[in-house]
């Protein structure tokens, strides 16, 4: 099973990439490209292409293994209103320069869209395994679900430590100033919330308004917490965006939601993303992984790794629940567009995390 994210004709991609590489390589390089499958089991937004490139340089054949991160075409119902690949590229580059966090090395950037129709950049291809999104890893029959309790805890703790290492980059507000959400607001949280509201309004015309999302927005706006310290937020900080070897991270992927903000945004997102999948298995009366990504365990591991004390996560859980509402709105509209499903009469039926959302909002008194 996979979800279609692009109407691109894959048969044309190798030739287009080879022609583009020829403009970057020495004369007579004569590059050739072999396209492999994208990462079909993961990712709901940008398109990911895996390919090998061969060429001749200094009389010898060279081979490189690349991953291309490609912005979606407007006609393919992108999840986000806009995609700044340059910001993703720069965030990965700076993290690679300043930390030991395993981010793939980025290389060539094509910002114009003249080659594949939308901008893209290349990064090194790393070997490893990723917890799958489709079908979710909580459904069973995959390496993470089948791992021992000790292996699952190793993955949980090493991923949490990796997040803490990202947050430890000094002077994040200035180093990553280009990731400050470009919306009105007196502080970062207000700007994050303004961006989330704009994202929701972007999704509405294609699928309708959501009572759950609007209830969350109203509560969030009325209950903004005090601003805390500012760190680099990976943004889409979930295990489905990490490549693992021996249950430890070897590549931190997908930086399209990167921003500066409070560390609680990332910690909450990592927890909430797992809870979404667990909520789906609960609704289907499947076992899932209810003991994995326990909030108390993750918070304790984060505080030990970072030396920092986290604030209450309730507001951030509601905020991230809102963002998942918009993700489900956009992915549902895209599935309708590609003929994978009928348009639902009520978008609330596509909110696969609705029981989770209602539980969390009850906990915070919303």
Q: Which of 133, 132, 152, 131 is nearest to 290 (CA)?
A: 152
Beta bridge partners of residue 67, listed in sequence order:
50, 123
How far is it, in rounded angstroms, from Cα 225 to Cα 312? 9
Global pTM reads 0.92
Compute the average pLDDT of residues 96-108: 96
141 tagged catalytic: no
How does pLDDT run across 5-33, given as a tens digit for each residue? Answer: 445 678 899 999 999 999 999 999 999 99
Cβ–Cβ < 8 Å for 68, 119? no
The predicted pLDDT at position 3 comes to 45
How does pLDDT run across 313-325, given as a tens digit for each residue? Answer: 999 999 999 999 9
How buried is residue 271: exposed, middle or buried, by Cβ count under 10 Å (0-12/13-18/19+)? Answer: buried
- Model confidence at 228, pLDDT cuts 50, 70, 90, reads confident
How does pLDDT run across 236-249, given as a tens digit for each residue? Answer: 999 999 999 999 99
Q: Which of 29, 46, 253, 216 is nearest to 131 (CA)?
A: 253
Higher pLDDT, 338 or 129: 129
Q: Where are the alpha helices (DSSP H) in 168-227?
A: 172-175, 188-207, 211-222
Q: Which residues contact 349 (CB under 8 A, 6 or more apart)?
A: none
Output the average pLDDT for the chain: 93
- Model confidence at 142, pLDDT cuts 50, 70, 90, reads very high
The predicted pLDDT at position 45 comes to 58
Burial 184-212 (b: 16+ CB within 10 A, else e): eeeebbbbbbbbbbebbebbbeebbebeb
How does pLDDT run across 57-66, given as a tens digit for each residue? Answer: 999 999 999 9
Report the share of the chain in percent with pLDDT over 70.
Answer: 95
The predicted pLDDT at position 5 comes to 47
How does pLDDT run across 104-135, given as a tens digit for each residue? Answer: 999 999 999 999 999 999 999 999 999 999 89
**Contacts from 194-200 at CB under 8 Å and sequence distance 24+?**
196/220, 196/319, 196/322, 196/323, 196/326, 198/81, 199/80, 199/81, 199/323, 199/326, 200/322, 200/325, 200/326, 200/329
Report the share of the chain in percent with pLDDT over 90.
Answer: 86
pLDDT of residue 1 exceeding 80, the answer is no
Q: Which residue in 90, 133, 236, 254 is the catalytic one?
A: 236
Sign of the CA dihedral with 135 first, then 286, 320, and 311 last: negative
3-state secondary structure of 231: strand
3-state secondary structure of 2: coil
How buried is residue 224: exposed, middle or buried, by Cβ count under 10 Å (0-12/13-18/19+)? Answer: middle
């Amino acid at each position: 099973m996979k979800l279609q994210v692009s109407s691109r004709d894959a048969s044309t991609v190798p030739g287009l990439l080879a022609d583009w590489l020829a403009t970057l390589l020495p004369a007579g390089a004569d590059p050739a490209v072999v396209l492999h499958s994208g990462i079909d089991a993961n990712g709901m937004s940008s398109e990911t292409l895996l390919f090998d490139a061969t060429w001749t340089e200094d009389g010898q054949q060279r081979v490189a293994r690349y991953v291309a991160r490609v912005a979606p075409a407007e006609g393919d119902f992108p999840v986000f209103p806009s995609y700044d690949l340059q910001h993703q590229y720069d965030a990965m580059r700076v993290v690679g320069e300043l930390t030991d966090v395993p981010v793939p090395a980025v290389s060539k950037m094509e910002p114009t869209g003249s080659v594949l129709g939308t901008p893209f950049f290349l990064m090194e291809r790393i070997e490893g395994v990723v917890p799958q999104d489709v079908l979710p890893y909580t459904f069973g029959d995959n390496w993470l679900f089948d791992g021992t309790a000790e292996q699952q805890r190793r993955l949980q703790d090493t991923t949490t430590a990796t997040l803490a290492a990202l947050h430890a980059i000094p002077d994040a507000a200035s180093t990553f100033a280009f990731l400050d959400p470009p919306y009105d607001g007196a502080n970062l949280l207000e700007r994050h919330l303004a961006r989330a509201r704009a994202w929701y309004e972007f999704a509405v015309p294609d699928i309708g308004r959501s009572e759950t999302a609007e209830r969350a927005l109203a509560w969030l706006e009325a209950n903004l917490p005090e601003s805390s310290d500012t760190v680099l937020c990976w943004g889409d900080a979930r295990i489905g965006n990490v490549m693992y070897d021996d249950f430890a991270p070897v590549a931190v992927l997908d930086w399209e939601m990167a921003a500066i903000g409070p560390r609680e945004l990332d910690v909450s997102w990592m927890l909430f993303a797992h809870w979404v999948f667990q909520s789906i298995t609960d609704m289907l009366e499947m076992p899932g992984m209810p003991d994995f990504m326990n909030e108390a365990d993750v918070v304790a591991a984060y505080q030990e790794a970072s030396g920092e004390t986290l604030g209450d996560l309730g507001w951030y859980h509601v905020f991230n629940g809102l963002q998942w509402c918009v993700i489900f709105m956009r992915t549902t509209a895209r599935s309708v567009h590609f003929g994978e499903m009928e348009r639902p009469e009520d978008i609330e039926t596509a909110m696969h995390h609705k029981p989770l959302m209602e539980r969390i909002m009850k906990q915070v008194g919303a």
